[in-house]
Amino acid sequence: MSTMLITLMAAIMISMILMVVCYTISKKSMMDREKSSPFECGFDPKSSARMPFSIQFFLIAVLFLIFDIEIVIIMPVAVTMKTSVITNWFFTITMFTMILIGGLMHEWKNGVLEWAN
């Protein structure tokens, strides 16, 4: 018990020391207009570098991420098919697929998947 307490105290002390050292060494800078403006080879930029992007790119990226996560969830299901009761397995997969299809239909109904407006 005492070795665990000593190890915990040492870890806390080392992390505190590192935080204090990082805080004292870190470079402090004041953000002003010149530092926050874009820099192109010493010249002023011809156009704004902070142009907004289309929200549809963001929505497609989020959909892609969601479906990637769903594929990661589905992959172990094929492995567990051999060791589980087939009716429970089939019910689980059917419910998961129905939820996915319901989400896709909801997105389709709201027009998220339509690229050209």
What secondary structure does DSSP assign to 85-100, as a single string? -HHHHHHHHHHHHHHH
Residue 84's pLDDT band (boundaries 50, 70, 90)? confident
Residue 92 lies in a domain: yes
Q: What is the pLDDT of residues 30-62, one digit of tens each?
A: 666 666 666 656 666 666 666 677 777 887 788
Residue 23 lies in a domain: no
Residue 27 lies in a domain: no
Residue 50 lies in a domain: no
Residue 105 lies in a domain: yes
How many domains is the chain built from?
Answer: 1
Instruction: Please give the torsion angle defined by the CA atoms of residues 9, 11, 15 and 18, in that order, rounded to the nearest 10 degrees.
Output: 100
pTM, two decimal places: 0.46
Average pLDDT over residues 77-84: 80
Residue 73 lies in a domain: yes
Residue 9 lies in a domain: no
Residue 91 lies in a domain: yes
Residue 89: give the domain boundaries: 55-109
